Chains A and B, each alone.
Chain A
Amino acid sequence: MNFNFKHEWIETNIGLMAVLTMLAISVGGLVEIAPLFFIDKTIEKVDGVRPYTPLEQRGRDIYQREGCYLCHSQMIRPFRDEKLRYGHYSLAAESQYDHPFQWGSKRTGPDLARVGGKYSNEWHVQHLIAPRSMVPESVMPNFPWLLTTPLDISDITDRMMALRKVGVPYSLTDAEYKANVARFGETVAKQLHIPNAQQSLIEQANFGNYDGDRSGISEMDALVAYLQVLGTMVDFNKYKDDAFVNDR
């Protein structure tokens, strides 16, 4: 064999070195991520998961702006202790419309993947303003400005357009709207229609009155609306407790 490999070839040729470095570090991604795009069980087939309504989406934006994800995860792992405390383990399908997802890797506070419906709106409002007034041992910061800051809804259309670009089925045309009606039902489809976004946001906020204050729509309205929908879209009572074992 005449082939005589020399380090020198790579070490003196920056182009070749860059290409080989890229190849080496892409192995992890190719082996662990790429197959997920071809495996048909990656996203479980489950009823009920829908994109966030404009109000919930704005709440999600505030959740990210305030850095809630730094202390709260949204990923219940399939362990007994987590099931007992938080409920059914999270499904990939449940975060399919999250961009970016909020799974997280650090829990200073509890997991929030199924916090929706666990506490009343009133509790959330009070707890966000002054966490220690509700939970004395809490180390969560106060977020009093949420209740006093009016929600900026002027750019909700742009925000939905951006999410639409990455695959969230917010509808723009009549045909897309009709497809959403077939997929999510008329009530939800209306809220996912971009031309109606501001109106449906206002309607949901006024109807839900999440912050308990009828005088206007605050950032608190949006954040509580978002928290109250977390983990509630799938009705797990419809499924056997091992319904999603085959998906992994």
Chain B
Amino acid sequence: MSEQKLQSQTVQTTGHAWDGDLQEYNNPLPAWWVYTFYVTVVFAIVYWTIYPSWPFGKGWIGGLSSITYVNSAGETKTHSWNTRALLMENLNKAAAEQKPYFDKVEAMSYAQIAKDPDMNGFILSAGKALFSDNCAPCHQAGGQGKIGFFPNLTDDDWLYGGTYDKINETITGGRHGYMPTFGEVLTPEQIDQLANYVASLSGIGHDAAKAAAGNTLFHSETAACYYCHGADAKGRKEIGSANLTDNIWLWANVPGAATAEGKVAAIRGVITSGLNKGVMPTWGGRLSPEQIKVLTVYVHELGGGQ
């Protein structure tokens, strides 16, 4: 109480009262606070002179700080500080650090890269990063694919070819799978015969009589399956048609069906409705040729490369 009295004698009030006697002290601000405030003002002025700040006419004042970088055309440029120039500087730095590796990637053949122990480590780490972001959403983290949607990259079966050049071509240009709809061209009996024949090629339980009729149909002009899948039914890599003899399945969920009838039914489904999917996006514009080369070796090394 006595303290309060003392203060009311030495400190001024803001000069007005509510409810008769309710007053407000007008204490001075603490010195540390005032000086900190002045320091922030000085800091702001220094900051304005170094970094871009005030608008000026149709532009702004760029500030004294600048960034020098080399652009894609090889020109060295200096620009007042901004985040986009800073990105260029950071990318230049990263490119310089990675250059020894990417120069090797460019100069070496696929087979040389795969054999070189130093490069192997680089391919594994850089390839995994690229694969995880770009490829794994469809082909899954280990490249095992997804039946009915996206091919397995770890087995020996390749729709478009499993050589380095073919894998590179697939990544760069993308792919688009297609098989006509046979539901309206052939009768259900004929489709059943064909499905039994295709099942027989992979040694799946089937009706021998139907398979024999399917064999004839497969090589006839009525169904003309041989046109795309080849007379030996082993597929044609130049058009991406599937090998029907290896018991490896992408579109028909044969492994998922428990019974032989179920497996034949799955094949029948694909023949009936055809395919207009199997789209792989084009990566040529999104990734650099060196990145695609790294990915090519990485995918090749997943287990199925030829």
A residues near B (Cβ < 8 Å) are: 6-8, 11-12, 35, 38-41, 77-80, 83, 85, 87, 89, 117-123, 126-127, 133-136, 212, 237, 240-242, 244-248
Contact = CB atoms under 8 A, between A and B. Distances in A.
B50 interface: no
Interface string B59-83: 1100000000101110001010011
B6 to A, nearest CB: 24
Contact of A89 (B59, B87, B286): B87
A38 B71 contact: no
6 contacts: A120-B138, A120-B279, A123-B150, A212-B276, A242-B69, A248-B83
A136 B144 CA distance: 13
A245 B85 contact: yes
Given A78-B83, A245-B88, A248-B82, A39 B59 contact: yes
B137 interface: yes
B222 interface: no
B173 interface: no
Nearest to B55: A35
Given A89-B87, A123-B138, A237-B285, A242 B16 contact: no
Interface of B is mostly: mixed
Given A83-B91, A119-B138, 14 more contacts: A6-B14, A6-B15, A39-B58, A40-B59, A41-B59, A78-B84, A78-B87, A117-B282, A119-B281, A120-B281, A126-B149, A240-B72, A242-B71, A242-B72
A134 B79 CA distance: 44
A179 B105 CA distance: 49
B71 A240 contact: yes
Nearest to A133: B146
Given A8-B14, A40-B59, A244-B84, A87 B286 contact: yes
A238 to B, nearest CB: 11
Given A117-B282, A118-B281, A122-B279, A78 B58 contact: no
A83 B95 CA distance: 13
B137 A78 contact: no
Top 10 A-B residue pairs of the complex, sorted by shortest distance between their CB atoms: A35-B55, A120-B279, A242-B71, A8-B16, A241-B72, A78-B87, A248-B82, A40-B58, A245-B84, A80-B90
Tier of interface size on chain B: 35 or more
B99 interface: no
Given A38-B58, A241-B71, A241-B72, A117 B14 contact: no
Contacts of A78: 83-84, 86-87
A83 B59 contact: no
Contacts of A118: 134, 281, 286
A236 to B, nearest CB: 9
Interface string B10-28: 0000111000000010000
Contact of B279 (A38, A80, A121): A121
Contacts of B285: 237
A242 B79 CA distance: 11
Contact of B94 (A6, A80, A117): A80
